[in-house]
Amino acid sequence: MNIFQPKKQDIIDDINGIKVADPYRWLEDSNDSEVKEWINLQNEQTDKILKKDSFESFSKELTNNFKVVNFSNPIPVKGRYFFTERQPDEDQSVLYVKNRLDGVPVKLFDPNNKREGNTVSIDFWSPSYSGKYIAYGISEGGDEMATLYIKDIETNEELSERIIHCRHSSVRWLPDDSAFFYTRNPRPGTVPKNEEHLHTKVYLHKLGDNPNNDELIFGADRPKDDMIGIGLSPDGKLLSIEVSQTWAENEVYIYNRETKVTKPLIVGIPSKFSVRFLRDKVLLKTNYKANNYRVLWSTYEDLYKPLDEWEDFISEREYLLESLKVTKSKILVGYLVNVCSEVFVFDYEGIEVGKIPLPKYSSLAGISGRRDEEEFFYGVVSFVFPKITYQYDPSTSSYKEYRKTDNPINPDDYEVKQEWYISNDGTSVPMFIFHKKDLLRDGTNPTILYGYGGFNKTNTPVFMRNWIPWIERGGIFVVANIRGGGEFGDKWHKGGIKENKQNSFDDFISAGEYLISQKYTSKEHLGIVGGSNGGLLVSAVGVQRPDLFNAVCSKVPLTDMARFPKFGIAIRWVHEYGNPDIKEELERILKWSPYHNVKEGERYPDFFFNTAEKDTRVDPLHARKMAAILQGVNKENKVLVFTEIEAGHGPGKPVIKIVENQALTLSFFAMKLALFK
């Protein structure tokens, strides 16, 4: 039985003539003493119920699983190699450089030397053109608002200048190492506090200068919800600026460093565009008139000609063109074929000259290389093995294994299948099913169904170290590639957003029904999990179909969709969900918003909400309000909440917190789905 009967308020908003009740608005203020007390009581109750024998067992196993060396693909720069690496006893990855591939690593920054007790993490890093310098961003407490530091590689000394408020900064060095373009957010106090994570602009920083005097390149008088990425031509004269407010389209501007003039290249076209500069031509990766993307090209001289006069460099294919990486003589093109990676090699004339071999049901885990280097590295990962990094050796024109992560399982003991099911409107949707071999399909297998379905994100095969204890004990883990994601191009994404958002939920519901119909599991043994947009997904589905699922784990979710744009960076998401300030869009949103569809007296599946004190992406108020309303409508509803202290949305989270959170999640599902039957 639920022991909490939270305080209710009689708050009803009138939004463009629509009455919207909000009985738990008091839980929005994280700094309120009553809210803090509520958080502490919920955490205590969660600990009391979940931190039992199974929690200790899962914690121990997860700790062992994470006691591996974790590393990034190295970036080759003029004979040096930059990379991050985390040792088994470390919480955070450390930034290193080696002066040759088999050389001794030199530590550049170690976030494990904590500052004033805070959790410190490396958010981004970018070596200069010659490899003499490196710029890197450090954030604390999981807030993702990094301070940018610059280090001289030869002396291993930090330069004096530090640039604050560089959230997910994009950095591009000039060829002579004298300066770099970068993106940052406004200084504290120059905009309202709840907008400090917005208003992204492009600046030029010259080494040795005071960052307060950095030249503003782009962003004046622009929408506050701009998301910006930048790229630089080989000679450093042209800066591409890709600007969007949505995940479905963007504009492109070109800044000329010599004339200091910015001109629009692509504006007013509802498609996605990404620029790549070659020596003698400019490439555009785009889904303009190509659902699965293609690559167009132009000379520098004709750069501003009409888009329809650009020529095909790589034509659209049957499958999704997902990534494009340029090296000194090759263009590496990653395709997604039925949600699995394939990589083809093209020359600078757009002719296919080879293919990189990848195993079945695997994903490309990044390609690291540079436009001025022949050598490159790429990672491969799957459900049954963690990342393996391969090196392309230009001296032999061969691919060879460079490094791999220890695997805690024997791949031969497991089975991965891709099956397709029919959603309620007839759409065919794929899912990956992962379990131990010799599974008995008798409808009693404890099964966890995962989904995301938003922001054009693709859910490809990945090694799920944190779910191995579940699989080892006979559970099933399923990934449904529902609409709203980007697995099958622009139409798949748009088929699950705004007025089509219910399609995401219907696809996920149909996945659950399919698993039951195929005797993988039953309602009593079926749980669902998702995070962020996936937390919204499972919260909505758990409310819409309480008869179908027995347990719901909603991590860092959105739930109050009538007020979501008012908090943090969420104004950027109105193009994904709809704008609740517009009457017609609010009417649609209220049909599926989890918080607004909880019914008085209804018995819902057991819910477990995970959120974080310093989440600056999805405000933890969403988890609090959703938990409270579920607790309030029926005393029989079993609802747990765990709020992580000194943690954010996820990036930079230390291993110790990852283990605790996941052990709680596994304990919840094990208890609810009868894993230890």
**Active-site option among 244, 510, 649, 667:** 649
First to last CA, the chain: 22
CA distance 422 to 85: 43
Residue-wise over 645-665: b if at least 16 C-beta within 10 A, else e? Answer: ebbbbbebbbbebbbbbbbbb
Structure-token match 């992560």, residue found:
405
CB distance 623 to 610 below 8 Å = yes
CB distance 427 to 457 below 8 Å = no
CA distance 622 to 139: 24
CA distance 400 to 393: 8
CA distance 491 to 292: 9
Active site (annotated) includes residue 575: no
CA distance 584 to 14: 14
Please give the structure tokens belonging to residue 548.
């179908």
In one-letter notation, the amino acid at residue 372 is D
Residues 6+ apart with CB under 8 A from 463: 381, 382, 383, 384, 385, 386, 387
What H or E segment, with its residue span, contains residue 9? none
Active site (annotated) includes residue 649: yes
**Interhelix angle 621-633/533-544, nearest 10 degrees:** 10
Enumerate the H helices of 145-225 as residue ranges: none
In one-letter notation, the amino acid at residue 192 is P
Residue closest to 408 by CA, chosen among 169, 61, 54? 61
Burial class of 585 by CB neighbour count within 10 A (0 to 12, 13 to 18, 19+): middle
Structure-token match 């109105």, residue found:
574
Neighbours of 388 (CB within 10 A): 19
**Active-site option among 128, 532, 593, 667:** 532
Structure-token match 């010259």, residue found:
206
Write the CA distances from 675 to 150, 243, 405, 465, 476, integer angstroms: 50, 47, 29, 18, 10
Residues 6+ apart with CB under 8 A from 335: 317, 319, 320, 321, 322, 341, 342, 343, 344
CA distance 195 to 224: 8
Spacing of C-alpha 521 from chain mean position: 29
Residue closest to 385 by CA, chosen among 361, 366, 401? 361
> CA angle, 488 as apex, 312 and 288 as ends, to 5°?
35
In one-letter notation, the amino acid at residue 134 is I
Residues 6+ apart with CB under 8 A from 659: 59, 62, 63, 66
Q: Which residues pair with 51 in a beta bridge?
A: none
Backbone angles phi, psi at 445, to 5 degrees: -75, 125
CB distance 153 to 135 below 8 Å = no
The sign of the CA dihedral 197, 201, 206, 212 is negative
3-class DSSP assignment, residue 150: strand
Residues that are catalytic:
532, 649
